[in-house]
Amino acid sequence: MKAEETLDCVGLYCPMPIVHTAKKMKELKTGQVLEILSDDEGIKEDMPNWCKTTGNGFLGIEEEHGVYRVFVKKSK
Partner 1 sequence: MANKEKMTLIVYSGEMDKALAAFNLAIGGASSGMEVTMFFTFWGLDVIKRSEGGIKSKGIMRKMLNFVDRGGAKRLPLSRFHMLGMGKWMMKQLMDDINFPQVQDLIALAKELGVEFVACTTSMGMTGISKDAFIPEVDTFAGVATYLARARESKINLFV
Catalytic residue annotation: 14
Residue 6 DSSP symbol: E
Q: Which of 1, 6, 8, 15 binds partner 1 (CB under 8 A)?
A: 15
Closest by Cα among 29, 9, 4, 34 to 20: 9
Contact criterion met (CB below 8 Å) for 57 and 51: yes
Applying CB under 8 A, the span of 16-24, 30-38, 62-70 interacting with partner 1 comes to 16-24
> Under the criterion CB under 8 A, does residue 13 sit at the interface with partner 1?
yes
Q: Applying CB under 8 A, which residues contact partner 1? A: 11-16, 18-19, 21-23, 50, 53-54
